Amino acid sequence: MSENPYQAPVPPPLPANQYAGEPLVFRSTKEERNRGPEGLGGWLILPMIGLALTVLKILGYFGNQVAPMVADGTYALLTTPGSEHYHPLWWPLLLLEGGGNGVLLVMALVAICLYFMRSRWFPRLHITFMLTNAVLMLVLFFFGAKIPALMEAHDAQAVSDMTRGLVGAAIWVPYMLTSKRVRNTFRPR
């Protein structure tokens, strides 16, 4: 016993694998406890929201811009040699923009399906989607700057779209490559 009557008594030490005299029982292995988060939650929800909004935006683009342009003859006016607003780069630019958006639409729809299936292909497709989108935005911006009518109209919206594509790729590509949640959720089964 100690010399100090005011000091609490010190209980005898317990073995390392016991607590209050009871043996410790772990319901999961050390690897399972240290694996990290899993599932379609957390920050992984944001790429899904982005893909869904991209699908809506591209469908709106085709419905509100492409269809009226073809229906009212604007497309023919821009791409027919000898017309008032003709420029030789209009046709490749419109084809690249329409075709690129069509490819992005298909990629986004497939990525949404792979996301909910928890397929191991989702992170790869999402990375490809983000890089394709960023490259398409850059190409369309600089290609459109070669057409005099568009050079005047290169407004803040075009710069904003291009910046959004680049920043999105800069954020989500590293996330898909390094996130424990992505690795645990979309692993091969």
Per-residue pLDDT of the chain (189 residues; tens, 9 = 90+): 567 778 887 776 666 666 666 776 767 777 776 677 888 888 999 999 999 999 999 999 999 988 998 899 888 888 888 888 888 888 999 999 999 999 999 999 999 999 999 999 999 999 999 999 999 999 988 888 888 877 766 667 778 888 999 999 999 999 999 999 999 899 876
Task: Tell me how far apart the terminal alpha carbons of the chain are, to the nearest angstrom.
Answer: 60
pLDDT at position 127: 97
Residue 144 domain-assigned (yes or no): yes
Please tell me the distance from the alpha carbon of residue 111 to that of residue 116, in angstroms, as a whole number.
9
Residue 9 lies in a domain: no
Domain assignment of residue 146, yes or no: yes
Nearby residues of 25 by Cβ (< 8 Å), 6 or more positions away: none
What is the phi-psi region of residue 157: left when phi exceeds 0, alpha when psi lies from -120 to 50, beta otherwise? alpha
With respect to residue 88, please indicate whether it lies within any of the assigned structural domains.
Answer: yes
Say if residues 96 and 139 touch (Cβ distance below 8 Å): yes
Number of separate domains in the chain: 1
d(CA 184, CA 33): 12
CA 56 to centroid of chain Cα atoms: 15
At residue 118, the pLDDT reads 93
Q: Is residue 1 part of a domain?
A: no
CA distance 60 to 105: 11
Which structural domain range is residue 123 located in?
39-185
pLDDT one-digit tens code per residue, 62-81: 999 889 988 998 888 888 88
95, 100, 105, 111 alpha-carbon torsion, rounded to 10°: 160
Q: Is 126 left (phi over 0), alpha (psi -120 to 50) or beta?
A: alpha
Is 84 within a domain? yes
Q: In this structure, is residue 91 part of a structural domain? A: yes
Using DSSP's 3-state secondary structure scheme, residue 125 falls into helix
pLDDT for the residue numbered 4 = 79
Report how far residue 71's alpha carbon sits from residue 129's, in angstroms, rounded to the nearest whole number. Answer: 30
